[in-house]
Amino acid sequence: MTRSLQAVAYTRPSALESVPGGRRLGLETSRGATPRGVEDHPRFFAGFLTSPQVASAGLLAVADVAGARYYQQQLRASLDPVVTGNGDRLRFESFSGCGGVYARLDVLDTGLDGGEVGHGTTNVDVNNPLREALSRIGSDDPLHLRVGPDEMAVTTLDGPVVEKKVPLPDRWLRGFAEAQVIAAGFDLRAELPAAEAVRFLRSLPRSTARGASRSAGWVVPSGRGLRPTTRPLPGAVCLPGPERLIALQRVLRHATALRVYGPSLAGAAAAASAWEVVLHGMRLHADAVPGGFAGILR
């Protein structure tokens, strides 16, 4: 496996702070690529989140996937999600340690208020104290988001410098490209309203995220929902292990719909699928791939 050693250095830990009138979520970034070239600590956004509790749950879901193993044990993966500024959205992405799940949270323009979204890609620090703080965000808590160090942090570094040297596998880059190629062959197979989405996802068998995956199954649209089937009927979608969707359960109470994507099935072989929870101003996406993304596992 090809690996390149990259120093991931944050000016300080990411943190959720109480400030007059609400809270401020500071997500610290490491070295990343921007249209201006490589920067040590790029800044992508500074403004308010229109749905703080929803965004917090979505970010935690992406972090959950980064630390999970669904079908086999691998070397410890990078636990820091990747953040991208696309001009019209902020995108947080991660792969599970086994390469079997790709997670993506898109915070769209309607989910952001008061700041211009920059362009570029880097790692973002989601540490344990931050995870605990995000889990306590209330529905009425105003939340200001800063992705990247502010001007004062860049010049003064108030607080300890947090440095981590991790082997960052080149396979992550291959995996992002492969996820796009696989998704290009998907079609929308079903769209469930909120109540049916919650019912279906909560009905899935639960297991530990590090446990062995159950064999692949299939679901088929039925009325306004989905029902399991023992074989790939026309229009069916493969689910390579129900535990791969556990992370989506973090946002269920905020869901407005569930969209299910997959390829046309040929034969009884397991196939990849994509599951997208529609949220207010956001989309939480999980791709489940039997055997894992080849680019990740090479």
We report the CATH number of the domain holding residue 65 as 3.10.150
Boundary-marking domain end, from 121, 149, 169: 169
Q: For the chain, give the secondary structure using H, E and C.
A: CCEEEEEEEECCCCEEEEECCEEEEEECECCEEECCEEECCCCCEEEEECCHHHHHHHHHHHHHHHCCCCCCCCCCCCCCCEEEEECCEEEEEEECCCCCEEEEEEEEHHHEECCCCCEEEEEECCCHHHHHHHCCCCCCCCEEEEECCCHHHHHHCCCCCEEEEEEEECHHHHHHHHHHHHHCCCEEEEEEEHHHHHHHHHHCCCCCCCCCCCCCEEEEEECCEEEEECCCCCCCEEECCHHHHHHHHHHHHHCCEEEEEECCCCCCCCCCEEEEEEECCEEEEEEECCCCCHHHHC
Instruction: Identify which of 15-19, 150-154, 165-169, 255-259 has the greatest average pLDDT.
Output: 255-259
Report in angstroms the alpha-carbon separations of 51 from 43, 108, 225, 259, 280. Answer: 21, 11, 27, 21, 7
21 & 146 share domain: yes
CB 279 within 8 A of CB 54: yes
Percent pLDDT > 90 in the chain is: 33
161 & 188 share domain: no
Beta bridge partner(s), residue 165 = 7
10 & 92 share domain: yes
Is the pLDDT assigned to residue 51 strictly greater than 60?
A: yes
- Is 210 among the domain residues? yes
Q: What is the average per-residue pLDDT within 31-56?
A: 84
> How many other CB atoms are there within 10 angstroms of residue 24's CB atom?
18
- Residue 252 makes CB contacts below 8 A (sequence gap 6+) with 197, 198, 201, 202, 277
154 & 11 share domain: yes
81 & 154 share domain: yes
CB 56 within 8 A of CB 134: yes
pLDDT digits (tens, 9 = 90+) for 215-250: 678 999 999 999 998 888 888 999 888 889 999 999
207 & 289 share domain: yes
140 & 8 share domain: yes
- Is 190 among the domain residues? yes
pLDDT digits (tens, 9 = 90+) for 130-184: 888 888 888 778 888 888 764 322 222 233 334 343 444 566 678 888 888 888 8
Is the pLDDT assigned to residue 74 strictly greater than 60?
A: no
Boundary-marking domain end, from 169, 191, 210: 169
> How many other CB atoms are there within 10 angstroms of residue 133's CB atom?
18
- Is 271 among the domain residues? yes
165 & 188 share domain: no
- Is 174 among the domain residues? no
pLDDT digits (tens, 9 = 90+) for 85-144: 888 899 999 988 888 899 999 999 999 987 788 888 888 888 888 888 888 888 778 888
136 & 206 share domain: no
Q: Which domain holds residue 125?
A: 3-169
Looking at the structure of the chain, the number of domains it has is: 2
CB 92 within 8 A of CB 59: yes
CB 66 within 8 A of CB 96: yes
- Is 204 among the domain residues? yes
Angle at the Cα of 164 (from 160 to 165), degrees rounded to 5? 150
184 & 101 share domain: no
- Is 209 among the domain residues? yes
Quote the pLDDT of residue 247.
93
Report in angstroms the alpha-carbon separations of 10 from 28, 79, 160, 202, 271. Answer: 6, 14, 9, 37, 39
21 & 162 share domain: yes
238 & 109 share domain: no
- Is 224 among the domain residues? yes
Boundary-marking domain end, from 139, 169, 199: 169
